[in-house]
């Protein structure tokens, strides 16, 4: 069984509850006072709850309604009712005295390099949403690591394989591949956790409306993984994403998965910046890709040999698909690009929306559903291309993408954490705060100092280079670090995670070594690490069961404790034998072969993640080779 089944059950229960009473949000949780953090009402509105007696002003910022004030009662409970809103998934956060914070009760969150949002899921009582988690066969989602020579560092991606991939009798079957890239500041997780590409494709496959395929989710901003950013940012390394994709990620995927390696069986696309990256890589490598998709984006109109040779370009493209909302801030530029293609005689399919709040993941999911039906289906793609309509005529009121818009959407952020020779500097912008503290695992609380720009900072020296969790206390209100992309996947409040490049088990410190894969089975409640290689000469197999702590999830041992990194590194040094790791709260749920020896490590036996990592290393070395 795989990770989709548990969420299936939850989805079915929610739909039944919605038919009997009011619709319930999938993120509904209860505080100790039994107040709900979010509640979807029968009239389509949503009520938000946030408990904070200390706060002076609280607003809720949700994608379907913007930023709105909340009212506080005598017990310090803030509430606001907004909408109505259509069933879908919406990012939201609370703005507490000017500082954005995630919902401390919401289990789902938006993976991002910068902003920290929770996810509100409003289910459709009819189960008609493309991303609904239904009772259908589900594919597997694996987190992979690979050494990128283009980057000079270890990079990461996510790979979806369809339900038949691991079925008995399918060992020789090969699949086409779709490289799908997220937007600006998104991580590789977003098309999985927000875009739900796996569930959309699962549903389409079950209905016979899409072809089986492998989907690869690259990380679109790989220079952020470097310990020191190159001079000039991304421009300082040229097209590092494109080089990494073509020269490093694709060869890794084709060496480790059963793929069909020709242009007729490769597709590429993405949302926002990912759409730009996908079109750029695809159009400049038409020997490798024949299906191109852009969601709410565009690319350069100056690509030698592409636009001025329409007959040759058209002959190489099965599908050139472009979608954008007319209310998107990129609509003007995206429309101009569509018109450029028309003028050059380049065939393309164009899709427009006006009801999904512009540049949003509601649009991204909608466009994805449309294109997955066409990929690797030459007949359907050709029919769509033949029936495509010309670009919409300009109205003069189109939003234009300018440097000013870019600066407003992505303002310059403070750097936190920053690694200095004499310590680690933590920063947060909170101009209206009276007191800000750093609360860090193994460090305790430290007061921070405010500068003239309203940025608070503190430098600390840590004894261990191992990962640790931390947060800020802004006038007593807990907040994750807004500029740290690494979050601890806790059940409640999501702490930030510091990954120290000095950690010998940090991926950033590793060279060109083999890496295992990590997958998550939410139904069984098990996260599994499988090493890169194992052979019979290495003796009986070894299984290690890592039990999470009380507030942890099955992701914690990997995303905070770096269990996979520890095994990868020790294996590369020849100090241990290959072993499988399962992280679960219920050891009995882990299946085991009769000849595998099992060892168990409990997070609750240790106070910090540094101690947990030490204990794992000690156990692995004790087992030895």
Q: So where are the chain's domains?
A: 4-122, 140-386, 418-489, 507-623
Is residue 5 scored above 50 in pLDDT?
no
Phi-psi region of 18 (alpha: psi -120 to 50; beta: other; left: phi over 0): alpha
> Residue 556: its pLDDT value, please?
98
- CB-based burial, 183-215: b 16+ in 10 Å, e otherwise: bbbbbbbbbbbbbbbbbbbbbbbeeeebbbbbb
Q: Which residue has the tokens 């591949």?
A: 177
Cα distance between residue 317 and residue 319, in whole Å: 6
Mean pLDDT, residues 139-168: 95
Judging by beta carbons within 10 Å of its beta carbon (0-12, 13-18, 19+), is residue 115 exposed, middle or buried? Answer: middle
Element (H, E) at 8: helix 4-20
Is residue 34 scored above 60 in pLDDT?
no
More confident position, 595 or 402: 402
Joined tokens for residue 256: 């480790």
> Residue 11: its pLDDT value, please?
42
Average model confidence (pLDDT) across the chain: 90
The answer to whether 4-122 and 418-489 have equal CATH topology is: yes
* Residue 596, preceding peptide bond in cis (omega within 30° of 0): no
Three-state SS string over 269-320 comes to EEECHHHHHHHHHHHCCCCCCCEEEEECCCCCCCCCCCCCCHHHHHHHCCEE
Mean pLDDT, residues 175-179: 98
Please tell me what DSSP assigns to residue 248: I
- CB-based burial, 72-103: b 16+ in 10 Å, e otherwise: beeeebbbbbbbebebbbbbbbbbbbebbbbb
3-class secondary structure, 560: coil
3-class secondary structure, 434: coil
- CB-based burial, 321-358: b 16+ in 10 Å, e otherwise: bbbbbbbbbbbbbbbbbbeebeeeebbbbbbbbeebbb
Is residue 552 scored above 90 in pLDDT?
yes
Tally of CB atoms within 10 A around 558: 22
Which residues on adjacent β-strands are paired with residue 147? Answer: 154
Joined tokens for residue 440: 């860090």
Architecture of domain 418-489 in this structure:
Sandwich (2.60)
> Residue 538: its pLDDT value, please?
55
**pLDDT tens digits along 579-620:** 999 999 987 666 655 567 899 999 999 999 999 999 999 999
Is residue 467 scored above 70 in pLDDT?
yes
Is residue 23 scored above 60 in pLDDT?
no
Mean pLDDT, residues 132-138: 95
Give me the CATH code for the 4-122 domain, please.
2.60.40.10
The greatest distance separating any two alpha carbons of the chain, rounded to the nearest whole angstrom, comes to 72
Residue 90 pLDDT grade (very low, low, confident, very high; cuts 50, 70, 90): very high
Phi then psi for residue 385, to 5 deg, are -65, -40
Percent of the chain with pLDDT over 70: 90
> Residue 8: its pLDDT value, please?
42
Mean pLDDT, residues 121-131: 92
> Residue 223: its pLDDT value, please?
87
Cα distance between residue 504 and residue 499, in whole Å: 11
Mean pLDDT, residues 251-269: 98
Percent of the chain with pLDDT over 90: 81
> Residue 591: its pLDDT value, please?
61
Residues near 434 by beta carbon (within 8 Å), at least 6 away in sequence: 475
Mean pLDDT, residues 339-350: 97
Integer angstrom CA distances of residue 338 from 319, 388, 545: 14, 12, 53
> Residue 228: its pLDDT value, please?
65
Q: Which CATH superfamily is domain 140-386 in?
A: Alpha/Beta hydrolase fold, catalytic domain (3.40.50.1820)
């Amino acid at each position: 069984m795989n990770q989709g089944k548990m969420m299936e059950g939850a989805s079915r229960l929610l739909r039944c509850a919605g038919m009997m009473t009011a619709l319930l949000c999938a993120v509904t949780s209860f505080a100790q006072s039994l107040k709900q953090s979010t509640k979807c009402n029968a009239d389509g509105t949503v009520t938000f709850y946030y408990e904070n007696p200390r706060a002076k002003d609280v607003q809720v910022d949700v994608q379907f309604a913007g930023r709105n004030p909340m009212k506080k009662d005598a017990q310090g409970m803030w509430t606001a009712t907004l909408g109505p809103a259509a069933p879908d998934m919406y990012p939201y956060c609370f703005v507490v005295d000017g500082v954005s914070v995630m919902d401390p009760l919401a289990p789902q969150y938006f993976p991002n390099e910068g902003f920290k949002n929770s996810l509100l899921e409003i289910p459709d009582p009819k189960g008609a949403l493309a991303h609904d988690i239904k009772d259908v066969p589900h594919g597997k989602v694996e987190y992979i690591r690979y050494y990128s020579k283009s980057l000079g560092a270890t990079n990461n991606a996510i790979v979806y394989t369809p339900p038949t991939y691991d079925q008995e009798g399918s060992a020789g079957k090969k699949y086409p591949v779709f490289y799908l890239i997220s937007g600006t500041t998104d991580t590789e997780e977003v098309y999985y956790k927000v875009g739900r590409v796996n569930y959309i494709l699962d549903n389409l496959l079950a209905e016979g409306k899409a072809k089986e395929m492998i989907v690869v989710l690259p990380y679109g901003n790989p220079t952020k993984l470097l310990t020191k950013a190159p001079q000039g940012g991304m421009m300082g390394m040229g097209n590092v994403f494109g080089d990494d994709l073509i020269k490093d990620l694709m060869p890794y995927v084709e060496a480790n998965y059963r793929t069909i390696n020709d242009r007729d069986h490769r597709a590429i696309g993405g949302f926002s910046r990912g759409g730009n990256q996908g079109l750029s890589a695809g159009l400049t490598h038409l020997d490798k890709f024949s299906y191109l998709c852009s969601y709410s984006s565009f690319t350069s109109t100056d690509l030698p040999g592409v636009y001025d040779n329409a007959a040759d370009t058209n002959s190489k493209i099965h599908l050139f698909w472009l979608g954008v909302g007319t209310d998107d801030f990129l609509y003007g530029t995206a429309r101009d690009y569509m018109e450029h293609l028309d003028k050059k005689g380049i065939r393309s399919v164009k899709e427009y929306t006006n009801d999904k709040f512009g540049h949003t993941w509601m649009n991204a999911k909608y466009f994805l559903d449309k294109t997955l039906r066409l990929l690797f289906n030459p007949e359907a793609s050709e029919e769509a291309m033949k029936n495509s309509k010309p670009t919409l005529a300009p109205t003069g009121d189109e939003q234009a993408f300018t440097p000013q818009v870019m600066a407003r959407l992505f303002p310059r952020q403070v750097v936190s954490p920053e690694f200095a020779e004499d310590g680690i500097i933590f920063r947060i912008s909170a101009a209206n705060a009276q007191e800000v503290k750093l609360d860090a695992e193994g460090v305790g609380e430290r007061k921070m100092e405010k500068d003239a720009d309203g940025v608070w900072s503190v430098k600390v020296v840590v004894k261990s280079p191992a990962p640790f969790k931390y947060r800020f206390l802004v006038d007593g209100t807990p907040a994750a670090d807004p500029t740290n992309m690494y979050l601890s996947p806790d059940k409640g409040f999501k702490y930030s995670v510091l990954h120290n490049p000095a950690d010998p088990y940090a991926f950033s410190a590793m060279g060109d070594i083999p890496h295992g894969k990590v997958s998550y089975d939410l139904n069984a409640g098990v996260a599994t690490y499988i090493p890169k290689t194992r052979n019979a000469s290495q003796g009986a197999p070894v299984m290690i069961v890592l039990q999470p702590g009380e507030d942890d999830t099955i992701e914690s041992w990997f995303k905070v404790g770096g269990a996979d990194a520890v095994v990868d590194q020790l294996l590369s040094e020849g100090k241990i034998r290959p072993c499988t790791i399962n992280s679960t709260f219920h050891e009995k749920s882990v299946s085991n072969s009769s000849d595998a020896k099992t060892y168990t490590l409990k997070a609750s036996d240790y106070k910090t993640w540094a101690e947990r990592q030490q204990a794992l290393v000690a156990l692995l070395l004790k087992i030895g080779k």
